[in-house]
Structure 1
Amino acid sequence: MARIIPICILLCLILYSSSLVAQEVDTTLPTAEAGKLYFIPLPAIGYNPVTGLLYGVAASGNILLGDPSDTRLSSAFLTTTYTTNSQLLMTLKSTVYSKHDKWISMGDWRLLLSSQPTYGLGTGKQSELLLSNEENNFELGKYNDGVDKGELMEFNLFRFHETVLRQVHEDFYAGVGFHYDGYWKINDVLLNLDSDPPYVTNHYAYSTIHGFRTNGYTTSGPSINAVYDSRDNINSPYKGRYAFLQFKMLPTWLGSDRSATQLWLEYRDYFSMSRRVERNILAIWSYFNLTTSGRLPYMGLPALGWDQFGKSGRAYPQGRYRGEHLFYFEAEYRFRIPIQPKHPERFGGVVFVNTISASADDLKLNLFDHFKSGAGVGFRFMLKEATRSNVTLDYGYGMDKKGAFYFNINEYF
């Protein structure tokens, strides 16, 4: 019943907004002022079986570093949370546009003293592959893809990703970046090589087979990047499109445990669904994250929910699907709910669907062999009209017959 209530409420709001769409309302939003910091602090409180009780602070900041006529809005998101399971999670994620949009800086910094269940590789049906390691003379046991049971893994992560791009022509940018991910104190909680039979986790099996340390590893290296961005707003676009290409080179001479290259291809677009209501749009988001050469460590493999802002895969836990190659697609209908006549843009809703496919080379599962999908609904409250900053509450339900609520700031893409 608890899963049905949010859907019923949202359907009622959709019907109510449809009855008001013909009314004449002023939908003009105020514009952001140059140099003014728009700051939204919020408490972060939640609970799930992995973290226990989570509490801390989350804050969103926006600023215009130039004239609104030729400078896009910059955005940053900061979180610091602690959990009753002794997990410390600190993140800073930003996209900054300089005066006249001449430069873009994109950052993803994280310090996680954390734990998370992992579920093997690929999006195929649960299967088994018996693997052996002749050098160590023992069987690695079951190596499952997409297993239903999560294998809890404790780990620490320091991430420093920073990319700087220069405007080449109007909405097109090119530049370079540097990316460091250091994992240490990895502990496979369920790993037990002394039991009969031994219980071997997916992380341990993959790491041993491919020559990675099981208690920690590093990826480090530069990238070349290209961005096309014609969106009218970074927080909640009503029109425009966004494309991002990034090619990472992660050589051993810069600290990576094994050399590898990785390609990120991303595209977003926004289509108007109403001549009268600018906010009523269909938004789409898609990306490929591909291992193009070499071998990445288990936690460094493309995984659901590990994008820059950690917003892919509503309906599934972060890292639920992982593999050498990953494809993601999401479509979302966003609409206004004009229940407040003086501020008709204040409230809104969304309906979304998403799907993912991940490969697993060791299991001979290719990209697009299998898909896992999710769907859900959400409610929006525009907290800062000048920056279109929304507080979001969503409910997603996946093919694993599980659902979850998501509380966030700004649209997911």
Structure 2
Amino acid sequence: MKKGFSIIWIFAFLLFTPLILFAQGKMESGEESGNKEKKVDIALLPVIAANPTVGVLFGVLPGLNWNMGNEADTRNSTALIGLYYTTLNQLFTSVRANAFTKEDKFNLLTDIRFNLNAQPTYGLGSVLDRSTLVGGEDIPSDNPYPPFQQQEMMYFNNFRLYQTVQMRHKQSNLFYGIGYHLDIFWAIDDKMLDLDASPQRITHHYRYQDIKGINTEKYSQSGLSANATFDSRDNVVNPYEGHLAAFSFRAFPEFLGSTTNASQLWMEYRTYVNLDRTRPRNVLAFWTYGWFVTSGTSPYLALPALGWDMFARSGRPYTQGRIRGEDLVYGEAEWRFPLQKTKDKWGGVLFLNTTTASSRTENINAFSNFVFGYGGGLRFMINEKKRVNLGLDYGFGANGAQGLFVNLNEYF
């Protein structure tokens, strides 16, 4: 779900967990299914959240797990559907799915979002101890900007449609194919921008867009991608072993509807190390990705940013978009372990992550500054056969960042 919400859902967790288990038990019942093997699992998680950005948020997070063939030769598919509305008239909707057809002949990746959004931005690069807005003709000599990164609230509407289709190479774990990627941002309201003030109040978003000659109120990216994925994980939603390596090169030409010509590269790797063969849930998990603008110019909100990965899972405990830049590299390690001697219902996690990002506009290099986050959480396995977890995590980060996070399935 969206990062940065202060989740007030512990009572909902205790109240609705029986409802989730009841719904799943009904689907598994022989009276309902005719004693046939269940094809679809549905977990329904109510969400209540509150913070100054959204007011009070109400929503639901359904999670779906299903199999399009036989479990002996077809991987399980998963989807998360989010629907949230806030007392400040904000709307967040999403459908994100990783699906495998019969015998794994095709892998389908879907990411659809429609948001009436409110989100802070802090500028480009992973330098948190100073403002990254540098001088220039439009920056007054009596510079009003603080010597540190300051939150700049932005309101905007966003529609995303990402669809990738990959074909399996023979009977291997290699998939390759093409995709279409569309992001539209409009009704952008840069709350901190004040061009009529004396001196003017210039924001990072306005400064970047002005330098690049891009409209500050609306823009889009639309393009095609070439993709390859190696996936040997034993389970998509909660792996105990295996590897994932993914590559996606995306071209956004103006003739396909992009505001500017640009290309981006996404590279990702995950691996899982089992620590105890007698308790496979005792796992060290590692995740890293790099996301780069490789040519041209991407608009500000379409730049690589923390928490804007497909399932919005990177960057606990930071708000979505807290770190942004033309180049962004992320790494995370997580220890997942059981909390019961012989059962797998309850588990725990400890995690540590780091992010670095560049700002070519402000001459900030990637790998020159790293931002860290750490924390831990609880897991409750609501479906042991398919390893579907309900998670509650708390994280801490730089400059007092902290947050409580709820999720279905593992973070990676």
TM-score interval, smaller chain = 0.7 to 0.9
SS of residue paired to 1:317: coil
CA deviation vs aligned residue, 1:383-410 (integer Å, no higher than 9, x gap): 1112111000000100222211101111
Structure 1 contact 122–146 (Cα < 8 Å) conserved: no
Q: 1:176 aligns with which of 164, 175, 178?
A: 178
RMSD, aligned α-carbons: 1.8
Q: Secondary structure at the match of 2:311?
A: coil
Superposition deviation, residue 131 in structure 1: 4.2
Match of 2:119 among 81, 92, 116: 116
User: Which of residues 243, 258, 261 in structure 1 aligns to 2:260?
Assistant: 258
2:247 counterpart letter in structure 1:
L
From the superposition, tell whether residues 389 and 203 of structure 1 become closer, same or farther in structure 2 (CA, over 3 Å): same
| Aligned counterpart, 1:100 | 103
Q: Is the Cα contact below 8 Å between 1:119 and 1:148 reproduced in 2?
A: yes
Partner residue, 1:209: 211
1:156 counterpart = 2:157: yes
1:346-398 Cα offsets, whole Å, 9 max, x none, are: 00000000000000011111110100001000100001112111000000100
TM-aligned CA distance change 1:140 to 1:38, over 3 Å: farther
Aligned counterpart, 1:235 = 237
Structure 2 length as normaliser, TM-score? 0.88
Report if the CA contact (8 A) 2:118-2:153 is conserved: yes
One-letter code aligned to 1:304: L
- The percentage of aligned residue pairs carrying the same residue is 42
1:337-348 superposed matches below 5 A: 337-338=339-340, 344-348=343-347
The one-letter code sitting in structure 1 at the alignment partner of 2:155 is E
Distance 1:63 1:144 in 2: 52
Structure 2 partner of 1:26: none
List per-residue Cα deviations over 1:280-329 (Å, max 9, x = no partner). 01000000001100010000000000000000000111100000000000
Checking the alignment, whether the CA contact within 8 Å between 2:67 and 2:77 is kept in structure 1 is yes
**Cα pair distance change 1:299/1:144, threshold 3 Å:** farther
C-alpha distance in 1, partners of 2:353/2:265? 21
Query: Are 2:61 and 2:82, in contact at CA under 8 Å, matched by a contact in 1?
Result: yes
- Give me the whole-angstrom Cα distance separating, in 2, the residues matched to 1:113 and 1:62: 28
Segments ≥4 residues shifted beyond 4 Å: 140-147
Q: CA deviation at 1:36?
A: 1.1
Verify the 8 A CA contact 1:184 1:217 in the aligned structure 2.
yes
Pick closer, same or farther for the CA change 1:349–1:382 going to 2, 3 Å: same
CA distance in 2, matches of 1:107, 1:52: 30
User: Would you say 1:166 and 2:167 are equivalent positions?
Assistant: yes
Q: Does 1:61 align with 2:64?
A: yes
Looking at structure 1, the residues matched to 215 and 261 of structure 2 have their Cα atoms a distance apart, in angstroms, of: 14
Query: Does the C-alpha gap of structure 1 residues 203 and 147 become closer, same or farther in structure 2, counting only changes over 3 Å?
Result: farther
CA distance in 2: counterparts of 1:168 and 1:144, whole angstroms: 54
- Distance, in Å, in 1 between the alignment partners of 2:134 and 2:235 is 51
Post-superposition Cα deviations, 1:114-136, rounded to whole Å, max 9, x if no partner, equal 11000000012414554446xxx
1:140–1:222 CA distance, 2 compared to 1 (3 A):
farther
The residue aligned with 2:405 is: 406
Per the TM alignment, residue 176 of structure 1 is displaced from its structure 2 partner at its CA by 0.1
TM-score by length of 1: 0.88
Aligned residues: 374
Using the TM superposition, give the Cα deviation of residue 52 of structure 1 relative to its aligned residue in structure 2, in angstroms: 1.5
Amino acid at match of 2:255: W
Q: Distance in 2 between matches of 1:147 and 1:307?
A: 26
> 2:130: which partner in 1?
126
- In structure 1, distance between residues paired with 2:66 and 2:144: 48
Does 2:75 align with 1:72?
yes
The letter for the 2-side match of 1:177 is G
How far does the alpha carbon of each residue in 1:123-169 deviate from its partner, in whole angstroms, 9 at most, with x for none? 12414554446xxxx44886989953210000000100000000014
Unaligned runs of 5+ in 1: 1-32
Q: Does the C-alpha gap of structure 1 residues 145 and 351 become closer, same or farther in structure 2, counting only changes over 3 Å? A: farther
Residue 317 of structure 1 is matched in structure 2 by 319
